[in-house]
Structure 1
Amino acid sequence: MPPPPEHPAPPIKMQKVGDAKNCKKIIKTGDEFDSKELCMADIGEKALLEGFHFRPRKSDRYRYDVVCTVEDCEWKIISSKAPDSMKWVVGKVNDIHTCDRTELYPDHRNATAKLLGHLLIPKMGDPSRVYKPKDIINDISLAYNIDVSYKKAWGGRNIALETLSGCPKNSFSQLLYFCYNLKLKNPGWVTHIETDDEDRFEMVFIAFRVTAGVRFWSRAYCPGKRYNYMTSNSVESINNLTRHVRRSPISMLIEYYRGLVQEWFYGAHAGDLSDWASAKVKDIVFKSANWTVKAIEHRWIYEVDDRRKKHIVKFKENTCTCRKWQLSGLPCGHAIAACRFQGMTSCNHLAKRWFRTTILKATYQALIYPLGEVESWELPTNLQVVKPPSMAKPQSGRPKNKDRIRSQGEEPRENSCQRCGSAAHTRGECNAPLPKNKKAKKSKSHPLDSNTVYIVLEIIADQALSICKCCLGWIIDMQMNSMSQHV
């Protein structure tokens, strides 16, 4: 059984944006930190606030020694690991800079993504907040008077999220202990984790009151009227409600669902009807304020004119000829107008009983307990092994559009491998062995017969004779021209 994942590092307190300017952070001899990372973050924040740069002179498992980047400056902080403890203690501090501190730097060397991640933890606690790198750059500039790059802001944001919610891969192994302790704290819950043949995660199932009976959740066996109130499309509503935690690790996502159900079950209702039913009745009361009512039988039967049609309301049978009262369970406008005609101050008693607050509270009368801190969980050793699912990394760049609608007359082109000829892959993905180099074949010489040789020689002689005639004519012309010049 793999060991449980490590707990996230404790968050580091961040200076408020308004109080960070012109502020000096004091680190003195004897200060203790829970870990080396917290000590490094505190010294790094001091450098950001006071506007200087430092470099580590020695950094290992037992010592962290930093000095100013300017040569011959005496500023330094020396810290070391306490003996027989995990704490780090500041041993020696010289907080006086002997340099003039007039150097200009294009970027603060100590504003690393890791330090920014620790500083952003208080602002990343709300998962519903969309904290973009542009906002991080602006907040860091206001708080510490420095400029950070987009890459550093993005890296710090990812480190802060991982510190708050844990590593996504380790959360799958933590899911086992979460489900086990969930059943211990809340008896009656059912959990099941399904894996493949290689013990990789596929699905998690968590249910509350699975033995309630099919008539409470099945449309076919429901004895009541499901129309307009009960729906089987609640998955989309839950997905929309949890859209800001979709990218969280699996353990954090399940914990959010549990807390959401706990909040639902703890709703307080002070009125006679539920909040939803009260809003519906209030809207109907406003619409039926000027309808005309005539009595047919005192207290029992009335005729109501809604400016379009006339309907009969019977209070003995709790019916109306518009049939909205019977179908919805809430009093229609005609029944409310008849109640107003009788001088009643409330019509909530006309609603069906399942809209009452008492029935609603009885539905959510069960208690859902939280799991507490991770340190207090029970960690059994006989649980199944759950590995992270195999998640293929998407390729960078614009995805190829393979569903393009082809033009009229355009035929699809079949691609095949140029090496082996297979249509299943291309040359770059081919694993077939390379073909052996074939020896070049020598061209065979064909002997010429005597007739062919005679014809070739005759052609060559004719061409040579024509060339000689041309050259002789050119020589005679040149001599005639020279003689004429002498004369």
Structure 2
Amino acid sequence: MAGKRVIAICQSGGEFETDKDGFLSYKGGDAHAMEMDEKLNFNDLKTEVAEMFNCSVDTMSVKYFLPGNRKTLITISNDKDLKRMIKFHGNSDTAEIYVMTEEAADLDFSNMPGSRSSRTTLSEMEVPVDAPPSVVEEDIVDDPNESGLLLDANFDVVGDTNNVDDTIAIEAELPGPVSFAAANYDEKNAKAAHQWQSYITGVGQRFNSVHEFRETLRKYAIANQFAFKYKKNDSHRVTVKCKAEGCPWRIHASRLSTTQLICIKKMNPTHTCEGAVLTNGYQATRSWVASIVKEKLKVFPNYKPKDIVTDIQKEFGIQLNYFQAWRGKEIAKEQLQGSYKEAYSQLPIFCEKVMETNPGSLATFTTKDDSSFHRLFVSFHASLYGFEQGCRPLLFLDSIFLKSKYQGTLLAATAADGNDGVFPVAFAIVDSESDDNWDWFLVQLRTALSMCRGITFVADREKGLRESIAEIFRGEDVVHGYCLRYLSEQLIRDVRGQFSHEVKRLLVEDLYGAAYAPNPEGFQRCVESIKSISLDAYNWVMQSEPICWANAFFRGMRYNHMTSNFGELFYGWVSDAHDLPITQMVDAIRGKIMELIYTRRTESSQWATRLTSSMEEKLEKESLKIGSLQVLMPNGSKFEVRGDTIEVVDIDNCDCSCRDWGLTGLPCCHAIAVLSCLGRDPYDYCARYFTADSYRSTYSESIHPIPSLERPRRKDASQAAVTVTPPPTRRPPGRPTTKKVGSHEVSRRQLQCSRCKGTGHNKSTCKEVLLES
């Protein structure tokens, strides 16, 4: 078959069905085609298939049928298996392969048909998250006339009692065995297990389903501290014996004819083993752990895996490892919160509901060519109205990485209300932070805002924002102010390795001084200080477009807000909700904004001041400074004010040579001194955004709840539903980091050698040769 190519039809997401003759057919799911030849290796196959179906390589299982045999699935687990498969299909132009993922890990035998052939396809079946942990070990059935599967402890099918030649390997991820911690088991603390000791009463006891019987049996074994193994386990009968060698304890239950009831037919309740002392462990599965911790997770969402390990050991005498506790918690969270995958499929109806319940809002999403999620934009009418009616025309653009199952990034536009509080305006969830996604976000923001004229954006100059803001808001008199935080970080990156930690700190201080300097003279003094440290750093600063970040030259109004991470409160909400499914994450953020609007509206309704509380305080501080000032009263609208410095105040243009009035929007002490001499009220010269009335306008509209996301039946069958699947990105293995990275790299302490005084190493690793005196 040298040079022979086979077209592989790759299928995933469907189910196997068994006909009356025991032949398997695959129904539903998605299908893709690819070419295969003998040069293809197994890792490349898995990588390509993972890209096709947006699944993880680590949890993938690939299987196929031999030509002419539709009863037995063969697993491909290495390069040799792959070459055999291609060789077996040498006389065919096509071959079918089936892709299964970790969703089949917790197997529910109660969903299995009774025939032998269908029971050989466990890992291909759709299994609910709360499926019972059927722990089956390799064991020969006592009655050779009864059919049953032979499985080992890892759920690998090693044979069938009716046909031992039909051998397949069903791969499913299961936790390892968990032993009773007999030495540490505290009877007094095992209250939860004690109530299960009498769950099994004996022959004649009935259960509503096989699932209920297995759950009851598991609890009974935990309470009585013994391990068991299944000899038979299918949809209509279960036979179990004690795992200890020679122990006669045994139980057999089967379905009552014409009903779904399961009845215990035989039982030997006698144990001759020493239970936990002699057994090698009880098989605690992830779904069992999930059922135990689910209720506590409702009350304590931050219930840690290490605490789960401790609590289960105390309450049940079972010692879990960290991974089992973590995985059980993940399953419990999904049971409580809903499916991540289903949440993506709900996005079309979710966006419809947002705009239906909150008229004037904008909620829209896009998908990629393969229908996988790309990005979602949300802006509520209450936020848009509040920004346009009461907030300063100032928007902060920033992002936060999401540590959810499918990762992604949240992009946000936040504003500052009249009390210098965070006011969320719009946000988007995108697959990654890129120039294209920022461009798309700004296009949606431009669509949502009814008027954009005069807005100042405070944002990073990278990520394509400089070009996107200028292009999308062209003709709107929009100004882009570079975020000083990002600017200082870039300065430190560009001069990395040249200076000590202390010198870098001084460079950043001088950069901030230059940015806040109100006039060109102050700016020049600061950059000259940078020049005295490093000519390269000075050149970098002068080439970084000071007109876009320095107060002395900036042509827009930033009200002295210099960094884009103004919305820390909002990003805190996102961090609290990042592990929720996407629709629930958005709804959690909506709930926080709704609560914020209601709370601030209620508080401001009690104000008796003309300005907001923080602005009243600032104006009062400036008023206390006028006692030492002398005002010269010339004819006209310009006045000279003498104090520590001599300043000129232009009342008609609301300007002072100190620049504070123009930069903040509040009269400075020089202006207040002039207004006092003229008998005018300083409140009349404050920017309208700081008034209590404007603040109340900001929070005058409400955000309404979003009802359930059940999709209604479409009257027009021609209207095809939009399909949205999860993005291909998945959370990397391991526990997400919770350590917050500092804003500036300069905050890290740099090593300095005590021998040669160089940086970047210490004495023990110093390679300098020092001459002895």
TM-score category, normalised to shorter length: 0.5 to 0.7
AA matched with 2:450: G
Look up the match of 1:265: 597
Q: How far apart in 2 are the matches of 1:280 and 1:207?
A: 28
Contact 2:308 2:325 (C-alpha < 8 Å) held by counterparts: yes
Are residues 1:255 and 2:591 paired? Answer: no
Look up the match of 1:163: 335
Aligned residue for 2:374, secondary structure, equals strand
1:202-241 alignment to 2 at 5 Å?
202-209=374-381, 210=447, 212-215=449-452, 218-219=455-456, 221=476, 226-228=557-559, 233=564, 241=573
Q: How far apart in 2 are the matches of 1:103 and 1:357?
A: 70
Q: Structure 1 or 2: larger strand share?
A: 2
AA matched with 1:227: R
Contact 1:31 1:90 (C-alpha < 8 Å) held by counterparts: yes
Q: How far apart in 2 are the matches of 1:177 and 1:90?
A: 45
Contact 1:189 1:208 (C-alpha < 8 Å) held by counterparts: yes
Are residues 1:325 and 2:498 paired? Answer: no
Q: How far apart in 2 are the matches of 1:183 and 1:38?
A: 43
Q: How far apart in 2 are the matches of 1:216 and 1:126?
A: 47
Aligned residue for 2:346, secondary structure, equals helix
Contact 1:293 1:338 (C-alpha < 8 Å) held by counterparts: no
Distance 1:200 1:223, change over 3 A: closer
Q: How far apart in 2 are the matches of 1:104 and 1:267?
A: 59
Q: How far apart in 1 are the matches of 2:208 and 2:304?
A: 30
Aligned-pair distance for 1:227? 0.9
Q: How far apart in 2 are the matches of 1:383 and 1:127?
A: 41
Contact 1:291 1:304 (C-alpha < 8 Å) held by counterparts: no
Match of 2:575 among 222, 232, 243: 243
Are residues 1:356 and 2:698 paired? Answer: no
Structure 2 unaligned regions, length at least 5: 1-27, 30-125, 131-187, 382-446, 457-474, 480-555, 735-773
AA matched with 1:201: F
Aligned-pair distance for 1:132? 4.5
Aligned residue for 2:558, secondary structure, equals coil
Look up the match of 2:321: 149
AA matched with 2:358: N
Match of 1:177 among 337, 349, 355: 349
Look up the match of 2:294: 121
| Structure of higher CA gyration radius | 1
Q: How far apart in 2 are the matches of 1:38 and 1:214?
A: 61
TM-score by length of 2: 0.38
Distance 1:367 1:77, change over 3 A: farther
Distance 1:198 1:39, change over 3 A: same
Distance 1:314 1:251, change over 3 A: same
Contact 1:48 1:111 (C-alpha < 8 Å) held by counterparts: no
Contact 2:363 2:376 (C-alpha < 8 Å) held by counterparts: yes
Aligned-pair distance for 1:189? 2.8
Aligned residues with identical type, % of pairs: 23
Contact 2:578 2:585 (C-alpha < 8 Å) held by counterparts: yes
Aligned residue for 1:193, secondary structure, equals strand
Aligned-pair distance for 1:243? 3.1
Aligned-pair distance for 1:105? 5.8
Distance 1:106 1:33, change over 3 A: closer
Structure 1 unaligned regions, length at least 5: 11-18, 398-487
More moved, 151-160 vs 324-333 = 324-333
More moved, 62-71 vs 322-331 = 62-71
Contact 2:600 2:699 (C-alpha < 8 Å) held by counterparts: no
How far does the alpha carbon of each residue in 1:245-293 deviate from its partner, in whole angstroms, 9 at most, with x for none? 445433333323333332333233424499x953465467569768744
* Number of residue-to-residue matches in the alignment: 378
Contact 2:231 2:240 (C-alpha < 8 Å) held by counterparts: yes
AA matched with 1:371: I
Contact 2:238 2:253 (C-alpha < 8 Å) held by counterparts: yes
AA matched with 1:115: W
Distance 1:199 1:112, change over 3 A: closer
Aligned alpha-carbon RMSD (Å): 5.9
Contact 2:672 2:682 (C-alpha < 8 Å) held by counterparts: yes
Q: How far apart in 1 are the matches of 2:265 and 2:620?
A: 77
Look up the match of 1:25: 195
1:321-470 alignment to 2 at 5 Å?
322-332=658-668, 351-374=686-709, 378-380=712-714, 382-388=719-725, 391=728
More moved, 165-174 vs 203-212 = 203-212
Look up the match of 2:442: none
Q: How far apart in 1 are the matches of 2:616 and 2:324?
A: 55
Aligned-pair distance for 1:151? 2.9
Look up the match of 2:496: none
AA matched with 1:358: D
How far does the alpha carbon of each residue in 1:30-70 deviate from its partner, in whole angstroms, 9 at most, with x for none? 99999876775566456546645455676544677877656
Contact 1:312 1:320 (C-alpha < 8 Å) held by counterparts: yes
